[in-house]
Amino acid sequence: MNDEQKPVVYILSDSTGETAELLARAAVSQFNSGNIEIRRVPYVSAPEEIFDIIDDARKTPSVIAYTLVRPELQSIIVREARAYGIPVVDILGPMIEALSQITPVPPRLEPGLIHRTDQAYFRRVEAIEFAVRYDDGRDPRGILKADVVVLGVSRTGKTPLCMYLAHKGIKAANVPLVPEVPPPQEIYQVPPHRLVGLTIRPDLLNEIRRERLKSLGLVANAEYASRERIMKELAYAEQIMNKTKCSVIDVTNKAVEETASRVMEIYYRGERQAKGGKII
């Protein structure tokens, strides 16, 4: 099969289409994923857009999946797709129909309700943008805006941890600790429960840094990966962490999920204490 005949799954949505795409990718993964293309078409609101998509879809082996809630648009998709023998999957409809059987409340049939009402979704998006903007200490102003600030020497997993926390709705910034560069003074203004230090066993850090140098095409015995340099950095980091009175987590052989779980425990417990023991 050449590239022009590669099967395509069209995802039509009156909102972002992210949920439908995730479902489609889960299904595609059961086949040879590289031979099936997924094209997401968000914010479909007019019949003309559907006609254009059908016109493209009929030229290659295609499936059309949709999460449209407006009945008139659904009817057009089904009618036009059937005219060309294109399989159609209504992702949202069966669930709405099932729910209608157990509740007297009629469906609102309004596009994009999930993203308008799900505040957790917006918080995650904002947190992800925050983690990117204030990664690796690039802007100290983010330190005082963050829910959590992560300290640590290079290659202790600060960035992956912050991104994981962001997907949990926590705004996390991280600051690298380097002996030659004094840390931003803002870290001393952060409450201890919002400040977390990462440490790691020296021999593992040595291995990680050596592999990192190799991946960059550099010599693995550079000072960056030397044991002497690593011991110096870890000692300096310990000094800074002791000064800030932050919690310290040893990330040696820990998955990011495990570290993140401990960070969230520290953060939420501290927040409850700061609010007088109230549940947040």
Residue partners of 27: CB distance under 8 A and separation at least 6: none
**At how many degrees (to 10) do helices 47-57 and 71-83 cross?**
20
Please tell me the predicted confidence (pLDDT) of residue 34: 65
Select the more confidently predicted residue: 4 or 121: 121
Of the candidates 191, 172, 185, the one whose C-alpha atom is nearest the C-alpha of residue 140 is 185
Q: pLDDT tens for residues 17-42?
A: 888 888 888 888 888 666 889 999 88
Please state the length of the chain.
Answer: 280
Beta bridge partners, 45, equal none
Alpha-carbon torsion angle 51, 52, 57, 59, nearest 10? 110
Given a cut of 60, whether residue 115 has pLDDT beyond it is no
Q: Are 152 and 169 in contact (CB under 8 A)?
A: no
CA 94 from centroid of its chain's CA atoms: 28
Residue-range domains of the chain with CATH: 3-116 (3.40.50), 119-274 (3.40.50)
CA 113 to chain centre: 21
* Angle (CA) 79 80 84, round 5°: 115
Model confidence at 278, pLDDT cuts 50, 70, 90, reads: very low
Sole residue written with tokens 């993140």 = 260
Buried b (16+ CB within 10 A) or exposed e, 53-69: bbeebeeeebbbbbbbb
Mean pLDDT to the nearest integer, 241-253 = 97
The residues that bridge with 8 in the sheet, in sequence order, are 37, 62
pLDDT tens across 257-272, in order? 999 999 999 999 998 8
Residue 43: closest CA among 66, 13, 69, 65: 13
Q: Is the pLDDT of residue 117 over 50?
A: no
Q: What is the pTM of this model?
A: 0.60
CA distance 144 to 120: 22
Residues contacting residue 180 through CB under 8 Å, at least 6 positions apart: none
Dihedral angle of Cα 207, 210, 216, 221, to the nearest 10 degrees: 180
Question: What is the rounded distance in angstroms from the CA atom of residue 66 to the CA atom of residue 44?
Answer: 10
Provide the pLDDT for residue 127. Answer: 95
Mean pLDDT of the residues in the chain: 89
Choose the weakest-confidence range: 28-42, 73-87, 116-130, 132-146: 116-130
